[in-house]
Structure 1
Amino acid sequence: MLKKEESDKMVVKLGKGRKKMERRTKGKLGQILLAILFTVSLLAVGCGKKEGAVKEYENVKEVTLRFFGTEILNSKVWNEQIQAKDGTQIKILETTAEYYTKTGGDEAYRNYLVERLDKGNEIDWFSIFAEDVFCFTEEERYLDLSDLKGVENLSEDALRGCSYDGKVFGIPLIYVGYGFYWNQDMLDSCGLEVPSNLEEFLSVCRTLKEKGYTPYLGNKGYSMTVPAMAAGFAQLYASEDKDEQIAKLADGTTPVSTYMKKGFELVERMRDEGIFDIEEAQNKVPNDSIRDFAEGKGACFCGYLGADVEKADFKMVMTGVTVLEDGAVTIVTPDRRVAINPKSENLEYAREALEYVADPKHLQSVARELGTLCAVDDKNIDYSYIGEEKQEFIRLVSSGNQIPVQDFSMGFNTWIDIRDLCREIVKGKSAEWAAQEYDRMQKEEILQWK
């Protein structure tokens, strides 16, 4: 659980056009939060029955679904009124928590989510992250959505990234990739070009450092995870026999260090050469890096397609993760996955509302709103709305053979384990230690979820 001194922002929003309410909370989620907010919603609609119940209102039934996630999605996903087959009007009440705590290693959102799921039917929908799927499957915390209308329209890669053990655990609202954002103006001022491979990346970073710039903005989120995974797993996913190699990783025949030692060595090298600030890499969260980059405080940051850098007043370009000897690769994943709590008291309405969201035209609208890729299987989608500075990155993602955030066929964690081990490298542990520790974790997790 979170320590009392660790504070996290929580946001709540109900329906289209309702005022967003923000408050700072400390420690456990305040139990009165939803009660206060629902009181506000009752004043707005003039009805005094309890939240979540099907009620009569001007001869129209209405139900409120409670969605817990890491960001407000209302205006981008379900701003139109959703109507169930029986005529019930469905509204979405959103509560959020920031994913990371401001201090320490705990993840705020996960702690809040587990706490609320443990209470039973307190939430109907929730955002599910790849790192939680193994344990959430074992604990039966999500509804299998394999037969949900709309699943058949997802792309093969998106569906693979939302499936485990024969179940579909969530509907992805978008499809994203992680790459490097570069401050083109800063590079130009130093007479540098955007790097296209590992040698060029390291050379550019050294020159930037010599000239007094911060080459790479670090954080305790994915700033180290992404380059480590790229350097470690790129050869695996580019190989013609990757399925056989993955199978050997999944049964423990091949130790994961066979691939990931190279990735850990890259992070160790970046640390030792001072390419990133060690203190920032231990304490800052990804949103801090996005803000710092937009304010011109660093030449490069690792971010996802759709990261909010609109406040930047300089020319920029997004590339793949240029840490390979012969080029770049991206880390890809279906994102904003919406899962259903199997203990929801509004289970059928939760399914119907998610079918509405999973409609291809709605998913394409979501992708356009968020400036990223669509999870729908449609090769004719026009991505010109994303911007010319990101088209090279989009072509790389579309070329295939990219690295998934989590390959569920492996049977052990990739993203979360690599992230945690990279945090230890930043603090001073060796790449050799991280490689050995990952082998141990691989064996342990394979046995745990076998």
Structure 2
Amino acid sequence: MKRFFGARARRVAALCAVALAACALTACAAGDEPARNLAAQTGDDATATVTFFSPMEKANPDAENTARTASDLTIAMAEEQLGVTLAYRTYTAEDYQDKTYDEVCLDRVRADQDDLYLMNPDAMVALGKEGRLADLSGLSCVQNLREVVKVANTVDGKLVGIPQEVVAYGLFVNKDIFDECKLELPNTPEEFLECCRVLKEKGYDTPLGANRWWLETFVFAQAYADMYNGGDVAAEVAALNAGEARYSDYMRPGFEFLKQLMDAGYINAENALVSEAFEGAGEGVDFMAGNTPMVMAYWGAANTDTAYGNPSFNMQVIGFPSAKGQMPVVSMTGYSVAAGAENLQGALDVMDVILSDEALKVYAETNRVISPSMNVQVDCVEPLRPLSEKVEADTYVLATNAGMDVEQWGNVCLVVRDLLGGASVDECMAKLDALQDAAAA
């Protein structure tokens, strides 16, 4: 699943959305501060209603909708099988003005306003720790989930969210440019830096197009490559939560790497700080026109008729550089049920239908994405094969792990923005330490 943010980004999403009609994908909430860490109705003619809060637009749940998204198709399955109606309650920036989707979710769950939610990781962690989300571990669909999905969405021993897709971020490379410059695709940070050096010498002023959302993918790839690929994840997370290990020690190499890219002019930090995803110098049009050799984005951006679909050149999507080679960065946004939901059982029943293998197959085949079910496999477009092979071999790092006391996806994004704005690496590490200390307190 993907990340929802502001109005300008939703205009971009209209061009590249492959799952949720009014969702856009990014790295953290659109705010400037880091995140702190059925019963059926009675009566023979009554139809049970489950209320669903999400960024999706569907004004009338009874209306015929021939252009439903993949998510809507699975919800239609639930409506038919269970005899319920999903009543959509929709977030729009116009309705909530300066409040982000996350802030509105927090308010609505705490006030028990809805039954079912589509939720970002940081909001899920906060609400899970407050005990406001139902434990989903008893659902039938859970037995088919990939282990990574359960790890990423478990808070205090409870499975509080399940996605309809696993989102893998990767490095989108213009392979034709690399071939012309006699460059191999980079595996390690050192190889990546050398590629950037050669590309700049060959006249590519900005070898890596960047925006203000996704540069943290480079940090996660380097910080957690060992943990999620051979390490004892449970023990290392426990040490972080206890303060025996520091997030700053894990992440310093990644921040130092980004600083090198900035200082050498391989990314345009000033432009990246104010650029939305798929926009700005070095991204979007520049990448598709062959003027910028590399950008970072998520899996669905490579599909046909999306942001980087059908390029005129040979595009390859690979993992980010790490000591263990090319490393996909995985995040996920989940469906959650409010523990205080008026129609709790109905919402759980809906979850079991829309997250069944049957529904997930419909979703994955419609959107050509990675399914959270280990039983659902979908062929991907050719440029995604390198990234797909890594994920299917369980080679990746998690950027959303609900078991960590410090929310990762949003907080690290914001600290990376500090770096782009001129903060030193030491200042960024101090901010990570402060977040960890606050979580412990």
Same fold (TM over 0.5): yes
Task: Map residues 261-410 of structure 1 onto 2, 5 A cutoff.
Answer: 261-288=252-279, 291-292=284-285, 293-294=287-288, 296=290, 298-307=292-301, 308=306, 309-310=308-309, 312-322=311-321, 324-325=322-323, 327-333=325-331, 335-378=332-375, 381-383=376-378, 385-400=379-394, 402-410=396-404
The 1:7/1:248 distance shift into structure 2, 3 A limit, reads: closer
SS in 2 for 1:306: helix
What is the distance in 1 between the residues matched to 2:158 and 2:84? 29
Could you say if the C-alpha distance between residues 146 and 70 of structure 1 is closer, same or farther in structure 2, counting changes exceeding 3 Å?
A: same
The whole-number CA distance in structure 1 between the counterparts of 2:248 and 2:110 is 36
Q: Once superposed, which parts of structure 1, at least 4 consecutive aligned residues long, lie more than 6 Å away?
A: none
CA distance in 2 between counterparts of 1:299 and 1:164 reads: 40
| Matched-pair contact (CA < 8 Å) for 1:60–1:89 | no
**Distance in structure 2 (CA, Å) of the matches to 1:54 and 1:314:** 57
The reply on whether 1:433 has 2:418 as its aligned counterpart is no
Matched length = 390
Larger radius of gyration between Structure 1 and Structure 2: 1
Cα distance change on mapping 1:157 and 1:340 into 2, 3 Å: same
CA distance in 2, matches of 1:244, 1:441: 20
Identity of aligned residues (%): 23
Cα 1:212/1:382, change in 2 over 3 Å: same
SS in 2 for 1:172: coil
Counterpart pick for 1:109 among 89, 101, 126: 101
Give the structure 2 partner of residue 95 of structure 1.
90
Unpaired runs of 5+ residues, structure 1, are 1-5, 12-19, 23-51
Compute the displacement of 1:439 (Å): 1.9
**Residue pair 2:211, 2:278 contacting (<8 A) in 1 also:** no
Closer/same/farther in 2, CA of residues 331 and 116 from structure 1, 3 Å limit: same
Deviation of 1:359 (Å): 0.9
Q: CA RMSD in A?
A: 3.3
Give the corresponding residue for 2:439. Answer: 445
Deviation at 1:426, TM superposition (A): 0.6
**Post-superposition offset of 1:427:** 0.6
State whether residues 134 and 337 of structure 2, in contact with CA within 8 Å, keep that contact through their aligned partners in structure 1: yes
Aligned to 1:14: none
Q: Which has the higher contact order (CA 8 A, sep 6+)?
A: 2
Task: Name the one with the larger strand percent.
Answer: 1
Distance in 1 of aligned mates of 2:411 and 2:233: 21
Deviation sequence 1:98-149 (CA, Å, 0-9, x none): 8xx99xxx8832133234445542x332222222233212334322222223
CA distance in 2, matches of 1:9, 1:326: 33
Q: Could you tell me how far 1:295 is from its partner in structure 2? A: 5.2
- SS of the counterpart of 2:439? helix
Q: Does 1:67 align with 2:52?
A: yes
Task: Give how far 1:220 is off.
Answer: 1.5
Q: Once structures 1 and 2 are overlaid, which stretch shifts more, 76-85 or 210-219?
A: 76-85
Kindly provide the amino acid, as one letter, of the partner of residue 78 in structure 2. I
Q: Give the aligned partner of residue 78 of structure 2.
A: 82
Aligned equivalent of 1:139, options 117, 130, 133: 130
Cα distance in 2 for partners of 1:107, 1:220 equals: 19
The corresponding residue for 1:418 is: 412
Do the aligned partners of 1:84 and 1:349 also contact (CA within 8 Å) in 2? no
- Per the TM alignment, residue 319 of structure 1 is displaced from its structure 2 partner at its CA by 0.4
* Cα distance change on mapping 1:256 and 1:114 into 2, 3 Å: closer
Letter in 1 for 2:338: N
Mark the CA change 1:111 to 1:10 in structure 2 (over 3 Å): closer, same or farther: farther
Is 1:228 the equivalent of 2:219? yes
